[in-house]
């Protein structure tokens, strides 16, 4: 059983590494805004984000764990009340929100969400979604965006 789990984990990582491709679905104007990282400031708590932005990333129970909080990181659910996704960091600039989070399970993955929330709008607009590796901060995100280390070919959640 252990060898099957190890093989499955290695296979999942290998597939994710092989699947990275150029970003294809991000509009040029949005890309220019995102690459100007001096405009963005990082936040490290879901309480620093609008609830409508958090909802775009939240797990099935509608929650997104903060960094360092307990969450269900594996496919073995030890506590069904815990979220299955966890915030790594987010960055904010005016109406733009960039959220980097991880999703637990056998296919543990790292996600990027870019959304715009314009004042007086009830719902944010998803600008772009991608999957890639764990990025330590916004500058690492900009570098991954420039170097094609994010995959936006599928609708990742």
- Report the alpha-carbon distance of residue 150 to residue 110 in Å, rounded: 10
Rounded Cα distance, 118 and 97, in Å? 11
When comparing pLDDT for 45 and 14, which is higher?
Answer: 45
Q: How many C-beta atoms lie closer than 10 Å to residue 41's C-beta?
A: 12
The predicted pLDDT at position 59 comes to 84
Task: List the structure tokens of 129.
Answer: 């979604």
pLDDT value of residue 60: 81
Q: What is the DSSP letter of 123?
A: S
Q: How far apart are CA 48 and CA 26, in angstroms?
A: 25
Q: Give the phi and the psi of residue 55 in degrees, each rounded to 5.
A: -60, -30
Confidence band, pLDDT 50/70/90 cuts, at residue 17: very low
Greater pLDDT, 107 or 40: 40
- Which is more confidently placed, 11 or 89? 89
Residue 156 above 80 pLDDT? no
Instruction: Record the pTM.
Output: 0.82
**Tens of pLDDT along 30-59?**
999 999 989 999 999 999 999 999 999 998
pLDDT reading at 151 higher than 50: yes
15: pLDDT strictly greater than 90 = no
């Amino acid at each position: 059983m252990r060898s099957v789990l190890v093989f499955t984990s290695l296979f999942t990582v290998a597939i994710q590494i092989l699947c990275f491709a150029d970003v294809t679905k991000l509009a040029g104007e949005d890309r220019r805004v995102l690459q100007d990282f001096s405009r963005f400031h990082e936040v490290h708590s879901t309480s620093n984000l609008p609830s409508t932005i958090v909802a775009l990333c939240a797990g099935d129970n509608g929650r997104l764990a903060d960094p360092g909080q307990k969450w269900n990181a594996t496919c073995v659910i030890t506590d069904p009340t815990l979220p299955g996704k966890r915030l790594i960091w987010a960055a904010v600039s005016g109406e733009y929100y960039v959220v980097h989070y991880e999703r637990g399970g056998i296919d543990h993955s790292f996600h990027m969400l870019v959304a715009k929330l314009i004042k007086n709008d009830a719902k944010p607009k998803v600008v772009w979604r991608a999957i890639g590796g764990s990025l330590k901060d916004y500058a690492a995100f900009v570098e991954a965006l420039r170097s094609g280390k994010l995959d936006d070919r599928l609708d990742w959640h």
